[in-house]
Amino acid sequence: MELYNKYDKRILKEKLMQESFKRITVSFYRYVILDNPHELRDELYLEWSGLNAFGRTYLAKEGINAQMSVPEHNWEEFKHKVYARKEFKNIPFKIAVEDDGKSFYKLKVKVRNKIVADGLDDGTFDVTNVGKHLSAKEFNEALDRDDVVVVDMRNHYESEVGHFVKAICPDADTFREELPQVEKILKGKEDKKVLLYCTGGIRCEKASAYLKDKGFNDVNQLHGGIIDYVRQIKNENLENKFVGKNFVFDERLGERISEEIISECHQCGKLCDNHTNCSNDDCHLLFIQCDECKEKYDGACTPDCQEISNLPIEEQKKLRKERERGPKASIFKSRLRPNLKEVLKK
């Protein structure tokens, strides 16, 4: 069996849409020493391919960070195989809130230096000295206090469409950029009760240890992140204090948590919280686009990109090759994104 996918994404997406069975979208992580992540990578790829599982998994010496889409009829076997490895025994699974079964269309398992790119030298502080984990009930109770500082440890394009009440949402493009920003924002509040949250909890593990090392005395983190918060409030009939959507890093790009829409279309300004990637694959910019603008611009961010995306595929590939020599901006970096409303006025 091949250890890498070699099929065109259009073919894979078409096959996914034709599936007649349901899938479960799940995320899980664990900081644990992996002796041979490269060998484990190949083993997991073979196991998960055999179960027709899709998703994106990062392995490193420090652990695993996975987002997966598993056929419902293979779910119990998938869990059994994961738990059978001593490093991942009883690893907490976080099931997606909204799931149409189309979150991933292929399987990627990669070995990296870290399971989350944080830019930190872990040897300079105790990464195991993390903050106190709070349940959804405890987090809600803490949010009601006047003396707390709530920090969203996600990137700006995530918090733009949804966040907790009272949250400070740093204008950061990456987690690496956000950590020093948060330290600066919290300067002078070392004795305050600090509440951290992120999507599934993994970024808060590192952030809480980082802040404790910097002298913050009462650091707390939402256990299981936003994903598990929603499960808990539903199961325990708790008040929902998260407003809007939870951004997710898969084909869905978001899970609705509350009915409020707190962001706007980047092209026309209409209330909207639907992220999309520009239909011009050479651009692929991540931005918010309403249904009307999506139809008007064929899913593109500008008329120039619209023109390119409507060209025959071979012509698009030719143009792409001509541009490959130049630097390519991250699709998430808002600072590199033009003001689309201003561009469209010209």
Q: Hey, which residues are catalytic here?
A: 198
| Measured distance CA(183)–CA(211) in Å, rounded | 7
Please name which of 11, 60, 72, 212 lies closest in space to residue 128, comparing C-alpha atoms.
212
Q: Tell me the DSSP string of 73-104.
A: GGHHHHHHHHHTSGGGTTPPPEE-SS--S-S-
Amino acid at position 199, single letter: T
Beta bridge partners of 209: none
- Token couple for 327: 């630097």
Q: Given the DSSP bridges, would you call strands 167-168 and 255-256 parallel, antiparallel or unpaired? A: unpaired
Q: Given the DSSP bridges, would you call strands 94-95 and 23-31 parallel, antiparallel or unpaired? A: antiparallel
Q: Find where tokens 């690893």 sit.
A: 91
Please name which of 202, 198, 195 lies closest in space to residue 92, comparing C-alpha atoms.
202
Q: Given the DSSP bridges, would you call strands 275-277 and 286-288 parallel, antiparallel or unpaired? A: antiparallel
| Measured distance CA(1)–CA(23) in Å, rounded | 23
| Measured distance CA(66)–CA(111) in Å, rounded | 12
| Measured distance CA(64)–CA(116) in Å, rounded | 9
Please name which of 255, 266, 303 lies closest in space to residue 283, comparing C-alpha atoms.
303
Which three-class secondary structure state does DSSP give residue 107? Answer: strand
